[in-house]
């Protein structure tokens, strides 16, 4: 297929592509800026099929860099900027990247790499821009931890992104006045998928560095925004700062990244907020099961149905299984994990759910122990492994506790021997774990509740 951004420029050069900090840029302008950056990357030696990491925040330059790397045909590893230096180092090594491009404010998180400032200053060398794209090629890689605690690099091909965007449009529709507000991280699939849709649909991305509920509320009231992606904690913050509906141009508030409680959903219904629940993950290139706008307010609590090209079914043990062209071909350099993730061609989500008789999916339980904090997935195993490395810790179990701001936060239950010192443990955690993963509380206990077979009863700890 033709290079998407080039094709978009040919179709609608003068339409708005990006609105960031009040600056409006057209697809033509975005392309020119991305091409210029591609020339600088080219000068730096970045070539087709090279794997390049980006460590940045939601800003114009990161947005352009993503496009620039795609123009050259490099694979992009998206680094979560909240991770520690150690966590980042693991991903860079595991992915075996050729180059790391780092926003200046995150330079202390990497041992080496080109800063944004350095990159802008290098010469421009006419880059080899791909005029056509092989859609089976890797577009992006994003690490997720999963139950084993070892982060795995999820591969997303151009095909995955294409089908995700097309699937979504067949459900949510598309109008000439659409625009998508992106206040979720573009290093996560929730944000990157908005960028991809923007190019495929020809609609503007309103990019926000942070989710500031007052500012976002103003934008939703202005009529400029048709669609916004939110996670539960964002939605709850929005509902708190403004107690009415929004502009009638806002036609979709797409909720992903974990379930909302019934009360929140009811409030949205009362206020006539066009909330559309969805279910998806990095491995499915964003939403793959979504409510339709028409059913959004009548099927409260459901994540919807599998989008047109996809399928969902429930395994005998209750696990949610998915099939469809937006699903990852597998994990980078990890055939074993890839093999484990699929069952007869169906992707195993690890989540538990059921389908009602009309075929609507209800997600009952996320991967047994998953903690979703402000839209970030936290896997207790990863935290437990770090804590276990502190000698005085004999046993540890991390569980999520309800939190007004973040939805849920991790708490560690520890059986310790003499010499245990919380300050020391906290330091270890700070070196090894992104701050959102660090337990908000370390609770010393005599013993951990266990089943007869010795498995920790996490549910019992949660109820403490």
Contact footprint for a second copy (CB under 8 A): 1-2, 7-8, 10-13, 166, 169-170, 173-176, 178, 200-202, 292-294, 305, 308-309, 311, 325, 358-359
Residue 145 vs 290, nearer CB to a second copy:
290
If the CB atoms of residues 6 and 328 are measured against a second copy, the closer one turns out to be: 6
Which of 293/329 has CB closer to a second copy? Answer: 293
CB neighbour list of residue 191: distance below 8 Å, 6 or more residues apart: 58, 182, 184, 185, 229
Angle between helices 213-222 and 232-241 in degrees, nearest 10: 80
User: Is the Cβ of residue 307 or residue 386 nearer to a second copy in the bound state?
Assistant: 307
Nearest distance from C-beta of residue 175 to a second copy, angstroms: 5
- Decide the pairing of beta strands 75-78 and 138-144: parallel
**Structure token digits, residue 140:** 């992006």
Burial 306-333, CB ≥16 within 10 A → b, else e: bbeebebebeeeebbbbbbbbbbebbbe
Q: Are 303 and 289 in contact (CB under 8 A)?
A: yes
Minimum distance between the CB of residue 305 and a second copy, rounded to whole angstroms? 6
Q: CB of residue 215 vs a second copy: minimum separation in angstroms?
A: 29
User: Least separation, in Å, of the C-beta of 329 and a second copy?
Assistant: 17
Smallest gap, in angstroms, from Cβ of residue 309 to a second copy?
6
**Judged by CB, which is closer to a second copy: 71, or 168?**
168
Q: How far is the CB of 131 from a second copy (least distance, A)?
A: 10
* Distances 118 to 2, 57, 64, 103 between C-alpha atoms, Å: 31, 17, 15, 10
Name which of 63 and 201 has its Cβ closer to a second copy.
Answer: 201
Backbone CA torsion sign across 58, 155, 375, 161: positive
Bridging pattern class, strands 138-144 and 114-115: unpaired
The Cα 256–Cα 315 span in angstroms is 22
Please state the closest distance from residue 176 (CB atom) to a second copy, in A: 6
Q: How far is the CB of 81 from a second copy (least distance, A)?
A: 32
What tokens appear for 25 in the block? 């840029």
Residue 10 vs 450, nearer CB to a second copy: 10
Instruction: Provide, rounded to whole angstroms, the least separation between the CB of residue 324 and a second copy.
Output: 9
Closest to a second copy by CB, 175 or 435: 175
**DSSP class per residue in 317-352:** TSEEEEESTTS-S-BTT-HHHHHHHEETTEEEEEEE
Which residue lies nearer to a second copy by CB, 144 or 292?
292
The answer to whether the beta carbons of residues 197 and 5 sit under 8 Å apart is no
Tokens representing 44 are 């730096």
Residue among 54, 248, 260, 282 at smallest CA distance from 154: 282
For 275, other C-beta atoms within 10 Å of its C-beta total 23
Measured distance CA(48)–CA(70) in Å, rounded: 9
DSSP state of 122: S
Least Å distance between CB 259 and a second copy? 22
Residue at token pair 């964002």: 234
Taking the least distance from each CB to a second copy, the nearer of 245 and 325 is 325
């Amino acid at each position: 297929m033709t290079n998407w951004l080039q094709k978009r420029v040919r179709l609608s050069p003068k339409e708005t592509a990006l609105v960031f900090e009040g600056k409006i840029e057209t697809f033509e302008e975005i392309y020119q800026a991305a091409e210029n950056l591609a020339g600088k990357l080219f000068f730096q030696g970045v070539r087709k099929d090279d794997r390049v990491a980006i460590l940045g925040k939601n800003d114009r330059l990161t947005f352009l860099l993503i496009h620039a790397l795609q123009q050259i045909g490099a694979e992009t590893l998206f680094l979560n900027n909240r991770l520690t230096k150690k966590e980042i180092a693991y991903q860079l090594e595991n992915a075996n990247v050729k180059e790391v491009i780092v926003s200046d404010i995150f330079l202390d998180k990497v041992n080496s790499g080109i800063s944004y400032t350095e990159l802008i200053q290098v010469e421009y060398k006419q880059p080899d821009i791909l005029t056509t794209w092989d859609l089976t090629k890797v577009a992006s890689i994003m690490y997720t931890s999963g139950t084993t605690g070892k982060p795995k690099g999820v591969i997303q091909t151009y095909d995955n992104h294409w089908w995700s965007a097309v699937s979504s449009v067949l459900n949510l529709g598309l109008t000439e006045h659409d625009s998508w507000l992106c206040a979720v991280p573009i290093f996560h699939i929730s944000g990157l998928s908005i960028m991809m849709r923007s190019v495929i649909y020809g609609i503007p991305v309103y990019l926000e560095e942070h989710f500031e509920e007052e500012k976002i509320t103003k934008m939703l009231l202005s009529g400029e925004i048709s669609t916004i992606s939110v996670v539960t904690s964002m939605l709850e913050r929005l509902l708190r700062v403004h107690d009415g509906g929004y502009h009638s141009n806002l036609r979709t508030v797409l909720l992903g990244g974990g379930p909302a409680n019934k009360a929140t959903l009811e409030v949205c219904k009362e206020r006539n907020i066009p909330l559309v629940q969805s279910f998806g993950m990095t491995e499915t290139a964003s939403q793959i099961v979504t409510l339709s706008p028409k059913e959004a307010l009548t099927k409260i609590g459901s994540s919807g149905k599998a989008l047109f090209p996809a399928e969902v079914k429930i395994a005998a043990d209750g696990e949610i299984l998915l099939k469809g062209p937006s699903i990852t071909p597998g994990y980078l350099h990890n055939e074993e994990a890839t093999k484990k993730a699929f069952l007869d061609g169906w992707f195993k989500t690890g989540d538990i759910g059921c389908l009602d008789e009309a075929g609507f999916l209800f997600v009952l339980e996320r991967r047994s122990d998953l903690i979703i904090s402000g839209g970030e997935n936290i896997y207790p195993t990863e935290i437990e492994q770090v804590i276990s490395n502190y000698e005085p810790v004999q046993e540890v179990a991390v569980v999520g506790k309800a939190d007004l701001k973040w939805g849920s936060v991790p708490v560690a239950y520890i059986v310790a021997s003499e010499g245990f010192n919380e300050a020391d443990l906290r330091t270890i955690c700070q070196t090894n774990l992104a701050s959102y993963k660090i337990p908000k509380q370390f609770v010393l206990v005599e013993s951990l509740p266990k089943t007869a077979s010795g498995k920790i009863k996490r549910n019992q700890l949660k109820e403490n």
